[in-house]
Amino acid sequence: MPPEETRTALVRRARRINRVLAETYPEAHCELDFDDAFQLLVVTVLSAQTTDRRVNAVRPALFAAYPDPAAMAAADRADLETILGPLGFFRAKTESLLKLSAALLERYDGQVPGRLEELVTLPGVGRKTANVVLGNAFGVPGITVDTHFGRLVRRMGWTEETDPVKVEFAVGALFDKRDWTMLSHHLIWHGRRRCHAKKPACGACPVARWCPSFGDGPTDPVLAQALVTTQGPA
């Protein structure tokens, strides 16, 4: 946040950016495929250290074999590892899914809880994963602070915090709670398509005029447009 910017000005600027991003990405949504809360919980856990596209690719086989927590908790470890092999870290991910499914059976009768306080008690589930599930499976507003979200809110001067939980609360205070889930989608889509980590497409950015980091990437419209992707890489 620029030193001369008041809190009121920051709120107005942040909300304007979100409105423009909503117009830019009207189709923004969770890019992990899922049919229900259990599937979303599982694929979100699997998405750590890999791409959404890879997770989406293994999802059909995974849930055809293990459609619910009971089936997954009883899975043969070697068979589950084979399905998860393309994701990398497949042994650790297999262990996570076995523990997660068993905990759902033992604590919640095989149902995914709809409260953050309960979700974060499950093995492998932190606030980021919990907020993804709450916002997209239960309609409960939540802010998803992934690497894209954190990078963008710091670039845009909304907060200087680096701890994900502190970022979540700092940014959440700038917006109405009802906007939190879609705000997360807007920023993540923008981070994947334009505001890249190494070379942001500043000259092709719809919110450049309100961004204090304008110029971190190419400002020439032609050079910048060449950096814009139509699909997120991760």
Catalytic positions, written as ranges? 128, 146
DSSP string, the chain: --TT--HHHHHHHHHHHHHHHHHH-TT----S--SSHHHHHHHHHHTTTS-HHHHHHHHHHHHHH--SHHHHHT--HHHHHHHHGGGSSHHHHHHHHHHHHHHHHHHHTT---SSHHHHTTSTT--HHHHHHHIIIII--------HHHHHHHHHTTS----SHHHHHHHHHTTS-GGGHHHHHHHHHHHHHHTS-SSS--GGG-TTGGG-TTTTSS--SHHHHHTT--SS---
Phi, psi (rounded to 5 degrees) for 130: -60, -40
For residues 175 and 187, what is the distance between their CA atoms, to the nearest angstrom? Answer: 13
Q: What CA dihedral angle connects 132, 137, 139 and 145, to 10 degrees?
A: 0
